[in-house]
Every structure is written in C-alpha cells, then in structure tokens.
Structure 1
Amino acid sequence: MKQRLSFRYIIRDTFALVTTSFFNYMPGRPEIDSNTGRRLLGVDEWVDTITMRPKSVRCLGCNDRILFTRKDFDVRMWQTHRDSCKGIDDMMKKAIVKELIMLANDAEF
C-alpha cells in the first residue's frame, strides 16, 4: 500500500501519535497551472491515477469522486478534500492497528 508512505506513527503510553507527510499546495504559493496540477495529482498516494480526469479524481480513501469546478487538475481542491477525508483517516488507523497486531503477534513467538 503506497499510501503507507504518507504517514507515520509513534506509540506514547496509551495512544498513537500520527503524523502525515502530505504535500501542502496552499500557503503563499502562486496559482498552480493545469499541467503542473496533473503531474502533482499523478504522484499523490491517495489519488486513483487510473481514473484521473481533468475535471475530477477518485479518492482512494473514501472512493468519492472529487470534482474540479474551478479549473482542470485543481490540486488545491484535492488538498481540501484529502486533508479532511474520513476515509483516509480510517485507512490510516486500520493500517496502524494491523501493524501493531502483527508486531504483538511476532513478540509472542
């Protein structure tokens, strides 16, 4: 799962601290043209690049199609979705729990 590259976690006492390594397209950056947007979306771990279109992408976290109403390959609109997607949050949590269970099982042997 290449999405696993987009986050890390550490265990502290009774909780896991999750940090993401999402690229931030917003602060102080000039407008991003469509060609650059296409390239950036094409390497985002949470974008289904097979079904990517100029006016939309499908999120691999929630399977929703994100429509670009302002311009083609709108990475800023994608970022707004990605950063608040409950599906992505859930997939990250499941991956962490799965990894912790595997570690616990390995420790028993």
Structure 2
Amino acid sequence: MINSGRIKRIYLDELPPGSIGMGLIELIVSKEVQAPELVKTLLDRTKTEVENDREKQGIIELLETVLLSKFSQLSRQEIEAMFLVSDIKQTRVYQEAKQEGRQEGR
C-alpha cells in the first residue's frame, strides 16, 4: 500500500505556517469550543485558495471526518451547524447516508 502512490508522506516541519494543512492539524488537536471556528475558517480558505475541485472536495471530506471522529457525541445537526448546509450535502459521507436512507425506504 505504501508503494502504491496513494499515500503521501507529509512531515509537519515541512508544512508552511498558516497553511490549510497546518490548519487541519490544529483542528485535530483543538478543543471542542475552538473547532467550529477553525472549521469555518478552513472551509472558507479551501473555497478561495484551492482551485482543484478534487482536492477541494478531499479537504472538505477530511474536515468532516475529523469532526465525526473528534466529536462523536455530537448530533448530525450539530455537526452540520459547523458546516454550511450546502457544503455538508456535497460530502461523500452525506451522499452515502442519503443513499442508504433511500434503500431502506424502498
């Protein structure tokens, strides 16, 4: 798996201060009260600074994954409140949950 090219090694000391990558690290180690503001800031920066749509979507999904694992005690509505509704609806997790709901409804 490591030699497949799908994994990229990133050294923390090589990330530029103030970068989106460092912001993601800060989010991971942040306290719960700081997370919503960090997420909003990272989301806004991602939208304006990242031109590649695939990379942009990957960052948004990573933000969601961090929130879901870091704040597993929060409800879906509370996590959605940290994102703009349109952003969360674009994530893979949301789309998969929506599809599962449709299948169960049938």
Q: Which has the higher helix share?
A: 2
Structure with more strand by fraction: 1
User: Is TM > 0.5 for Structure 1 vs Structure 2?
Assistant: no
TM-score, length of structure 1 as denominator length? 0.26
